[in-house]
């Protein structure tokens, strides 16, 4: 049986103790891709009529 554990990139998930413990089991760790706060076009709404328009994130 194979168990897949999906985790974020929090520092404690990469700790040596965690990796060593998981290596002794049937669990496979899959890390989510890193978060990028850079907004893309779909997340930004700008109103041209407003002189001080700010992106909506």
> Which of the four pLDDT bands, split at 50, 70 and 90, describes residue 52?
low
Q: What is the pTM of this model?
A: 0.50
Residue with tokens 């899959």: 30
Residues paired with 29 in a beta bridge: 5
- 7 membership: H or E segment, kind and range: strand 3-7
Per-position DSSP letters for 7-22, written without gaps between them: E---GGGG-HHHHHHH
User: For residues 36 and 10, is the Cβ–Cβ distance under 8 A?
Assistant: no
Q: What per-residue confidence (pLDDT) applies to 13?
A: 86
Cα separation, 39 vs 46, in Å, equals 13
């Amino acid at each position: 049986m194979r168990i897949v554990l999906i985790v974020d990139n929090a520092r404690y998930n990469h700790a040596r103790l965690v990796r060593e413990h998981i290596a002794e089991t049937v669990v496979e760790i899959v890390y989510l891709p890193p978060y990028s706060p850079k907004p893309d076009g779909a997340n930004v709404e700008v109103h041209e009529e407003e002189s001080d328009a700010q992106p909506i994130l």
